[in-house]
């Protein structure tokens, strides 16, 4: 065991970056999978690149990246402190539902209404996320499990609310009524909407907090060694609750942005089917929560998934292949990082 650790630790500069190796490995395995299912892997990959990075498709990629990068931050922020928030789905739908319902009842000028809806969505989802942190601090229930389990009731209850009490009578579909036009988030130009700018601003803020503030430093310290952080004066319970609030609030914001910026109503299931939460989690795991890297990884996965649509359209290779590719990248990295880790 020790021999292996020493062997990999000798010449760090000669090693190729593990992330690139992981991407290469997953491309090969995914290619083999495509080949076995009777398609041409090179054509499939060409369609992914063409369908995500060409000038025509870049707006689509950015559009897809808005919620995905948001959910990447949702996972990355707690991960930076060694915590995992697996409840992004629940926080996302809570934010989405609040964002869809408030504009229906709030009077006032449109811009103010949408700002109030976004703020309320962030606050509500943030509060819900702190439940898991509070459960760990007060009752010792592991957050990894409780955050995930709390997601199911949130999804169930919001689904019920959208299907029964707040169902749109006009269409009869499981969705809420349309948000008034004035309260919607405007498209600035092409794919750029106010929502994309908001997520970009949050991303910049996350990097800034991580690198330049005391809170960011304390969170990183916790990620490296929570006991040391505790002895150094970090109030761990308060920090966990604050971190989860920030994480959940961003998830709620993402939900409200999707609702107010592109769907204009809460459609049951529509926020969950793209699986932003899990892609975001994988992007964050890819770089172990470092915010700038996580944002890049989120953009990369957004491009991969957007290209997946083109691939499915052009070559009939199912686009769920992109999920397989992402998972293989994570598994490969998890094992490689393990190899380099010194034994305790």
Give the residues lining the site for another protein (CB under 8 A). Answer: 1, 33, 36-38, 79-84, 86, 135-137, 139-146, 148-150, 152-153, 156-157, 159-160, 163-164, 222-224, 226-227, 230, 235-237, 240, 278, 281-282, 285, 288-289, 318, 320-324, 326-328, 330-331, 333-339, 341, 343
Nearer to another protein, 49 or 145 (CB): 145
Q: What is the C-alpha separation between 243 and 219, in angstroms, rounded?
A: 8
Q: Supply the minimum distance, in Å, between the C-beta of residue 137 and another protein.
A: 5
Minimum CB separation from another protein for residue 102, in Å? 21
CA 257 to chain centre: 14
Q: Which residues pair with 192 in a beta bridge?
A: 189
Phi then psi for 192, rounded to 5 degrees?
-75, 115
Nearer to another protein, 54 or 316 (CB): 316
Smallest separation, CB 273 to another protein (Å):
11
54 vs 225 by CB, closer to another protein: 225
Can you state the angle between helices 41-53 and 291-315, rounded to 10 degrees? 120
State the nearest-atom distance from the C-beta of 62 to another protein, in Å: 24
Report how far residue 172's alpha carbon sits from residue 300's, in angstroms, rounded to the nearest whole number.
38
> CA-based diameter of the chain, in Å?
69
CB of 156 to another protein, least distance (A): 4
Looking up tokens 């290619």, which residue turns up?
A: 31
Q: Minimum distance from CB of 152 to another protein (Å)?
A: 4
**In contact, 72 and 294? CB cutoff 8 Å:** yes
What per-residue string of b and e applies to 218-252 under the rule 16 or more CB within 10 Å gives b? bbbbbbeebeebeeeebeeeebbbbbbbbbbbbbb
Q: Which is nearer to another protein, 46 or 330 (CB)?
A: 330
Residue placing its CB nearer to another protein in the complex, 190 or 269: 269
Nearer to another protein among residue 122 and residue 143 (C-beta) = 143
């Amino acid at each position: 065991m020790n021999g292996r650790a020493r062997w990999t630790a000798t010449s760090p500069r000669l090693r190729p970056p593990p992330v690139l190796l992981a991407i290469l490995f997953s491309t090969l395995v995914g290619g083999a999978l495509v080949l076995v299912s009777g398609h041409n892997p090179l054509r499939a990959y060409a369609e992914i690149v063409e369908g995500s990075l060409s000038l025509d498709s870049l707006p689509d990629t950015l559009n897809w990246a808005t919620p995905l990068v948001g959910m990447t931050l949702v996972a990355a922020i707690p991960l930076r402190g060694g915590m995992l928030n697996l409840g992004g789905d629940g926080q996302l739908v809570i934010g989405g539902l609040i964002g869809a319902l408030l504009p229906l009842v709030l009077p006032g000028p449109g811009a103010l209404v949408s700002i109030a809806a976004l703020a309320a969505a962030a606050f509500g989802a943030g509060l819900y996320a702190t439940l898991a942190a509070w459960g760990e601090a007060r009752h010792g229930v592991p957050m990894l499990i409780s955050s995930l389990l709390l997601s199911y009731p949130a999804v169930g209850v919001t689904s019920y609310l959208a299907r029964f009490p707040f169902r749109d009578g006009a269409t009869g579909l499981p969705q809420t009524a349309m948000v008034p036009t004035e309260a919607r988030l405007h498209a600035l130009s092409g794919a750029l909407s106010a929502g994309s700018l908001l997520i970009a601003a949050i991303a910049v803020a996350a990097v800034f907090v991580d690198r330049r503030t005391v809170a960011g430093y304390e969170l990183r310290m916790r990620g490296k060694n929570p006991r040391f952080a505790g002895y150094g004066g970090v109030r761990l319970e308060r920090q966990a609750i604050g971190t989860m609030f920030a994480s959940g609030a961003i998830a709620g914001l993402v939900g409200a942005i999707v609702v107010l910026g592109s769907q204009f109503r809460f459609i049951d299931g529509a926020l969950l089917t793209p699986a932003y939460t899990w892609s975001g989690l994988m992007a964050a795991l890819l770089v172990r929560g470092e915010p700038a890297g996580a944002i890049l990884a989120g953009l990369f996965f957004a491009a991969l998934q957007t290209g997946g649509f083109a691939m499915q359209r052009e070559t009939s290779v199912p686009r769920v292949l992109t999920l397989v590719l992402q998972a293989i990248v994570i598994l490969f990295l998890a094992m490689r990082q393990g190899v380099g880790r010194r034994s305790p």
